[in-house]
Amino acid sequence: MRNQKDLSLVETLLILVVIPIIGNVGCSRQTAGKSLVDADKALEPRAKQIQQQSSRPEKTDETADWITYVSPKGRFSLRHPKSWAVGPKQSQYCGKAEFSFTAGADADLVEDCGTEYYGQIYLVSEEGNYLDPQKSLRTASQSYRNITRQKVIVDNIEGAREAGTVRQNNNELDIDHPLPDGTKVVNYEFYTHGRTYFVQCQQRVDNPDVLRDFDLMVTKTLKFSN
């Protein structure tokens, strides 16, 4: 009888010791499982972000298939859209044709040498520094509104971009103000390697819009050379 009582007492003590241990093991497993679930949930947004980034199309160079233009004497090169017409017309009357680039959305919009029309798009390179802070759309004989001016970096050279919209009285043309009302004018100017580079786009309201491609041409493709 004593042995049975002693045995029962030992068994009772074992049960009291083992049950908490089993409970702790179960809790540990639950805690570990919860931690893994929480970790998986924490990784889900990152995994989705990586998946979304990998599924996005890579940025393409919009100017990659454009046509290259090189001016050895003007010491510059650029690329322009295939659809543009490149001039000038009557080049025999152009004194700076070898130092310049002129283009337009169609053949009627390129420079017409011997006239005062320089084309929808025009770039000229001249030896010397002709940058003049006093010369801008604000001081031009033509009246402009919504004038903006900002610094730009092109081919590691700092320059300026200035833009404005022609303002005409009564929307009429006169000798002193040849551009129609509403014409957007964008100018770029740079000085490097002893030369001044001036680039302009005249975007008239009734002409095909080339302003976006013009800005891409200057900021993404224009290169200066010694």
Peptide bond into 133 cis (omega under 30): no
Nearest to 116 by CA among 138, 142, 81: 142
Judge if 5 and 48 occupy the same domain. Answer: yes
Judge if 96 and 207 occupy the same domain. Answer: yes
Judge if 111 and 90 occupy the same domain. Answer: yes
Judge if 6 and 93 occupy the same domain. Answer: no
Judge if 99 and 206 occupy the same domain. Answer: yes
Q: Give the pLDDT confidence of 105-142 residue by residue, as tens digits.
A: 999 999 888 787 889 999 999 999 999 877 788 887 67
Domain containing residue 72: 67-224
Is 191 a member of any domain? yes
pTM of this structure: 0.70
CA 68, 69, 71, 76 torsion-angle sign: negative
Q: How many CB atoms lie within 10 A of CB 44?
A: 10
Is 21 a member of any domain? yes
Judge if 119 and 208 occupy the same domain. Answer: yes
The total domain count for the chain is: 2
Q: Give the pLDDT confidence of 42-85 residue by residue, as tens digits.
A: 556 665 565 665 566 567 899 999 999 999 999 999 999 999 99
- Sequence-distant (6+) residues with CB within 8 A of 118 are 102, 111, 200
Check which CATH number belongs to the domain holding 220 and give it: 3.40.1000.10
Judge if 24 and 133 occupy the same domain. Answer: no
